[in-house]
Amino acid sequence: MGRVLRIGRVELKVLDLEKSVDYYTNIIGLEETGRMGDSVYLKAWDEFDHHSVILTKSNSPGLAHMAFKVETMDDLAYYEKKVEEFGCTTTRISNNTRLAEGEAVHFILPTGHHCELYHEIGFLGTAVGFRNPHPWPLGWKGIAPHRLDHILLTGNDLKTVTRFFVEALNFGQSEKVVTEGEEELLGSFLFTTNKAHDIAFVKGPDAKLHHAAFHVDSVHDVFKAADLLSMYNVPFDVTPTRHGISRGETIYFFDPSGNRNEAFANGYMSYADMPTITWDAAKIGTGIFYHARELSESFMKALT
């Protein structure tokens, strides 16, 4: 059986490329690692691969694609077959089609999102190195997250997309949100690492991005992020709070194109043999925002 290691990258569509690069480098605190055409490549200080975020100039914001890294090239072929057996059409993306990227397998999820699997990518290392490293680098900018953590997407058929990740890609489902009698799935949180989730879906229009999340250490870092965002007049969606789902501490805000970002801390560890935690639809407000216990209108409607 092959292994999907983790979420490896997101490609975000942005309206003003240079304004977006300034935001993601100076406010989020990512490092620019290269450019190709209308795309800029970035990584967080604690990531070792060439990039985890691609910003691509577009006429509309949103998610161009996301990709998951597999352990070996044999795993790439293994999952290509599994994806096809599930009923999704795959195509091969050639080596170096994008900067520093090896060959990839592309397919479209049941929710309409473009997704890829890959193994090979350029290696740059972390800002603190791998020998006698300091716990964090001097001179960092902005929020300075450790890594890209997860993404939340919207779609209409959450049962099928959940089944895809579980059956084709061997993910687990950590949590779910259901209607009475569990007739309808309104939220699905999926993992392939020990994080609370690596990707999640909530009921909504197909092919939309809800948010891309970056990992920070603690609730202190969430509040520090809030301070920085206020200093730079970045628009907030939700100020610091806690999730019931995942138990993480969080803050939500928007990039210059309207793509929602999250600074996310803590959360529980998930394991392959854990039971799925179930939330009733009537408690979704508490599940998302544990303190306020209700959803804001913008949180459900601001999608790109």
The mean pLDDT value for 82-91 works out to 98
Q: Which of 106, 150, 210, 215 is catalytic?
A: 150
Q: Answer yes or no: do 80 and 11 share one domain.
A: yes
pLDDT tens digits, 209-259: 999 999 999 999 999 999 999 999 999 999 999 999 999 999 999 999 999
**DSSP-derived secondary structure letter, 49:** B
Residue 179 counted as domain residue: yes
The mean pLDDT value for 3-17 works out to 98
Which runs of E-coded beta strand occur in 156-259?
172-178, 185-191, 199-203, 208-216, 236-242, 248-254
Residue 133 counted as domain residue: no
What is the pLDDT at residue 1? 67
Separation CA 273–CA 281 (nearest Å): 25
Q: Answer yes or no: do 151 and 112 share one domain.
A: no
Active site residue 211: yes
Q: Average pLDDT of the chain?
A: 97
Alpha helices (runs of H) in the chain, residue ranges in sequence order:
17-22, 73-86, 158-163, 219-231, 284-288, 297-301
* Domain final residue pick, 118, 138, 162: 118
Q: Which of 119, 197, 210, 215 is catalytic?
A: 197
pLDDT tens digits, 15-54: 999 999 999 999 999 999 999 999 999 999 999 999 999 9
Q: Answer yes or no: do 39 and 100 share one domain.
A: yes
Active site residue 210: no
The mean pLDDT value for 276-301 works out to 93
Give the CATH number of the domain where residue 249 resides: 3.10.180.10
Residue 112 counted as domain residue: yes
**DSSP-derived secondary structure letter, 226:** H
Q: Which of 65, 119, 211, 215 is catalytic?
A: 211
Residue 168 has pLDDT above 90, yes or no: yes
Q: Answer yes or no: do 53 and 94 share one domain.
A: yes
Q: Answer yes or no: do 175 and 270 share one domain.
A: yes
Q: Which of 47, 116, 243, 249 is catalytic?
A: 243
Q: Which of 11, 47, 80, 262 is catalytic?
A: 262
What is the pLDDT at residue 32? 98
pLDDT tens digits, 94-143: 999 999 999 999 999 999 999 999 999 999 999 999 999 999 999 999 99
**186 token code pair:** 């309104």
The mean pLDDT value for 62-66 works out to 98
Question: Which distant-in-sequence residues (6+ apart) come within 8 Å of 1 by Cβ?
Answer: 78, 170
* Domain final residue pick, 79, 101, 118: 118
Active site residue 262: yes
Which of these, 88, 99, 20, 108, lies nearest to 52 by C-alpha position?
Answer: 99
What is the pLDDT at residue 297? 87
What is the pLDDT at residue 181? 79
Separation CA 205–CA 244 (nearest Å): 24
Active site residue 47: no
**DSSP-derived secondary structure letter, 123:** B
Residue 274 has pLDDT above 70, yes or no: yes
Separation CA 233–CA 228 (nearest Å): 9
Q: Answer yes or no: do 151 and 297 share one domain.
A: yes
Domain carrying residue 26 = 4-118
Yes or no: say if 111 and 207 are a contact pair by the CB < 8 Å rule.
yes
Domain count, the chain: 2
What is the pLDDT at residue 183? 81
Q: Answer yes or no: do 182 and 268 share one domain.
A: yes
Separation CA 151–CA 199 (nearest Å): 5
Active site residue 51: no
Residue 77 counted as domain residue: yes
Yes or no: say if 38 and 17 are a contact pair by the CB < 8 Å rule.
yes
Residue 154 counted as domain residue: yes
Q: Answer yes or no: do 38 and 97 share one domain.
A: yes
Q: Answer yes or no: do 288 and 192 share one domain.
A: yes
Q: Answer yes or no: do 84 and 208 share one domain.
A: no
Give how far the C-alpha of residue 145 lies from the chain's centroid of Cα atoms, to the nearest Å: 13
What is the pLDDT at residue 300? 85
Strand, coil or helix: what is 138? coil
Between 299 and 147, residue with greater pLDDT = 147
Active site residue 184: no
